[in-house]
Amino acid sequence: MPIPGNLLTTAMAVMPHTDVDQALKTALSMDIPFWPQLPNLNFYEDMYAQAAEHFPGSILDVEKRTLRFSLEKFINEVEETMTHFEEPQYFDISKTYSAVYHRFLSMNFSKRPAIRGQLEGPISFGFNVLDQDERPIIFDDTVRPFMIEFMAKRVNVQLERLKVLNENAFMFIDEPGLQFLFSAMAGYGDQKAKKDLESFFSMIDRPRGIHLCGNPDWDFLLGLEMDILSLDVYSNGEVFANYSNSIKRFLDRGGIIVWGIVPTNFEPFAEENTSSLEKRLEEIWQILYRKGIDQDFLLSRSLLSPATCCLVNSDKEKTVEKAFKMISNLSERLREKYKLT
């Protein structure tokens, strides 16, 4: 099983730090480390901007912190982009777009149980990036298929580089936009999304999975061909537990769930402690046990993480770092309690 479970720790990559060394140190404190994304450092570090590197038609304004799209620019640039389609380096993240990634690649992770990378997913990227008519590019039937293939290449290149460092490396596809698919306002429904995501996953190497903090249709999401699902169970746990049949099928076919349980926003974090979060998490698990999911099996296929990323706390990175420490403490407590190695 390339992705470990047994309540080891990892975290989402977007961090509020502007000190690169401290951000990397915090990320390395997890059992399964990752390279941090630091949008407060500069706009190149924004997860959408990083995904847009070399994407034809992109208009990135670092000073104004905006990312737009021009169809005319796309048409003018797409042929040039196609000439680079067999060049892995072209689809990797450059030093300009990440202050941490290449430092991460220079480190020794041979003794870690796994490591992780990430890239913004095509659905969220397509919803978030607007064209010259203020229209999300996901609605463009010409741009969308190219975008899906382009992002798949970016995922594969990164995963290949990470696997050199640790054979159990895996990727998160960050897809916050999936929660909007089932809104009547979306204009891009679940059937199109399912077809597009199935196409996307067919192009990318395993192991791969989705990270999101919202509350989508969990039957839809758990039915995708992925190996790991990372979610905010602190906010959505009771809803998520209602999908026990889909959760069981996902676990039975080898899936891993990352239970995001420690809040990173200042107010809710201040109201919690390790014991309260342990109780909250175990109450969710008890629902699943009562619905026929074996306890030992579930724990063997579970990781722990903070609930969400957070860039808006007045204390900047302090609460986030406390959340990282708390998830490590919770992991240690639960692993001892359930005698997990």
What confidence tier does 2 reach under pLDDT thresholds 50, 70, 90?
A: confident
Domains of the chain: 8-40+99-337 (3.20.20.210)
Parallel, antiparallel, or unpaired for β 228-232 and 256-262? parallel
* Overall average pLDDT of the 122-132 stretch: 95
What confidence tier does 192 reach under pLDDT thresholds 50, 70, 90?
A: confident
- Tokens found for residue 224: 């995708």
* Overall average pLDDT of the 276-300 stretch: 97
What confidence tier does 185 reach under pLDDT thresholds 50, 70, 90?
A: low
Residue 280's CB is within 10 A of a number of other CB atoms, namely 15
Name the pTM for this structure: 0.95
- Report how far residue 227's alpha carbon sits from residue 57's, in angstroms, rounded to the nearest whole number: 32
- Report how far residue 214's alpha carbon sits from residue 176's, in angstroms, rounded to the nearest whole number: 6
Burial 70-102 (b: 16+ CB within 10 A, else e): ebebbeebbeebeeeeeeeebbbbeeebbbbbe
- Tens of pLDDT, residue by residue over 229-267, are 999 999 999 999 999 999 999 999 999 999 999 999 999
Look at the block and give the residue holding tokens 């196409």: 199
* Overall average pLDDT of the 121-145 stretch: 94
- Tens of pLDDT, residue by residue over 262-285, are 999 999 999 999 999 999 999 999
Parallel, antiparallel, or unpaired for β 66-69 and 58-61? antiparallel
pLDDT > 70? residue 319 = yes
